[in-house]
Amino acid sequence: MKVLLIGNSDICIYTFRKELVDKLLQEGHKVYILAPYGKLIDDLKKAGCVFYDTPLSRRGKNILKDLKLLRNYKKIIGEIKPDIVFTFTIKPNIYGALASAKYNVPCVMNITGLGSAVENKGITQKITLFLYRKALKKVQTVFFQNEENMRFFADRNLGTGKHKLLPGSGVNLKKFAYADYPSENNGLVFLFLSRIMKEKGIDQYLQAAEYLKGKYPELKFNICGYCEEAYQQRLEDLQSKGIIFYYGLKKDVVPIIKESHCLVHPTYYPEGLSNVLLESCACGRPVITTDRSGCREVVENGVNGFFCKQKDAEDLIRCILKFMNLSAEERRTMGLNGRKKVEREFDRNIVVKAYLDEIKKLNG
């Protein structure tokens, strides 16, 4: 069959759906990808995928640009004539589903998180929900990554009867294999692994790093991920003072996770289900994160990590100190608990099977 995947970035498809793509190709399906070009696309093309560069503004609210995106999707879907379309993230979900409906192509939508446009009340929320209502009319299935998001749509009668819950994007348990807990002889290493943006809690992390580094110079506060322009100068300044170490954006984050003792993810972004939490837990690392949907599904407070309050640097500092006061064995056990949890509940093979089942529906 011809299977089309539509996402908002190369990371969206490669990092979180590579196993699905590989399985589709193994089973003899022709795989097409619509997304803005990024370096990871080259690997997907080498694997045998057909790529169409479809630029989009992830956060932009320009209706003319969005209409151009919709026309582009319609044009390409008309050319490809896929048997089924899988969409991910808000704009590909809405406009991909609308474009698929024009040609009566079955579409499977994945709500990877509400996003600020939907979570925050206002005119943008009303417009986005109106568009979702139209887009959902003809979709085959709507996958959700957490129950709170699914209830949000159910309460508004959006896509009712088509809802299914997935364990997020799942995690590749082989790639993110358990790693022995590192030595603490040179001090504890904390890691912020995420897109460096306000809603991911970077301000709280940097404030905590500045305060704790002054009191405990042996601590290390590392950062890895794409840096939005607003934070570039601040990271450079703090690195020059020895307060943080910034790796930049890395294709393979496993070595960075392995050398850390704790992942710190003080997000207040409307997550579907946090991939960085899954990946860190899979490697056997305790986590400190916020008690919100997309995070609480992965973390059991006091078992494989701690919860801190959102937008609260002081509470984040309290949690880090609480973690520091544990024994080395207690920290290691927390990491083991996290590994066991993701093995039980978040194997990416569960997600891949769910998508293959959607294809099987086409054959009756």
pTM for this entry = 0.90
Query: Would you state the CATH architecture of domain 189-345?
Result: 3-Layer(aba) Sandwich (3.40)
pLDDT given for residue 363 in this prediction? 80
Tens digits of pLDDT across the chain (364 residues): 999 999 999 999 999 999 999 999 999 999 999 999 999 999 999 999 999 999 997 666 778 889 999 999 999 999 999 999 999 999 999 999 999 999 999 999 999 988 877 888 899 899 999 999 999 999 999 999 999 999 999 999 999 999 999 999 999 999 999 999 999 999 999 999 999 999 999 999 999 999 999 999 999 999 999 998 899 999 999 999 999 999 999 989 999 999 999 999 999 988 889 999 999 999 999 999 999 999 999 999 999 999 999 999 999 999 999 999 999 999 999 999 999 999 999 999 999 999 999 999 998 6
Question: Which pLDDT score is estimated for 58?
Answer: 67
Amino acid at 101: A
CB neighbour list of residue 294: distance below 8 Å, 6 or more residues apart: 113, 145, 146, 267, 270, 271, 272, 273, 274
Angle made by CA atoms 209, 200, 342, in degrees to the nearest 5: 95
What stretches of the chain adopt beta strand conformation (E)? 2-6, 30-35, 50-53, 84-88, 107-111, 141-144, 163-165, 189-193, 220-224, 245-246, 262-265, 287-290, 305-308
Q: Tokens 């794409």 belong to which residue?
A: 226
Closest CA to 6 of 101, 67, 73: 73
Strands 262-265 and 189-193: parallel
Q: Which fold has domain 2-170+347-361?
A: Rossmann fold (3.40.50)
229-168-280 Cα angle (round to 5): 65
Q: How far is CA 137 from CA 23, 30, 134, in A?
A: 29, 26, 6
Nearest to 166 by CA among 146, 140, 136, 141: 146
Question: Distance (Å, rounded) from C-alpha 71 to C-alpha 74?
Answer: 5
Do 2-170+347-361 and 189-345 show the same overall fold?
yes
What distance in Å separates the CA atoms of residue 183 and residue 188, rounded to the nearest whole number?
9
Cβ(276)–Cβ(191) under 8 Å?
no
Contacts of 141 (CB under 8 A, 6+ apart): 108, 109, 162, 164, 358
Contacts of 171 (CB under 8 A, 6+ apart): 275, 278, 279, 281, 282, 342, 346, 347, 348
Nearest Cα to Cα of residue 267 among 253, 277, 278: 277
What ranges do the domains of the chain cover? 2-170+347-361, 189-345
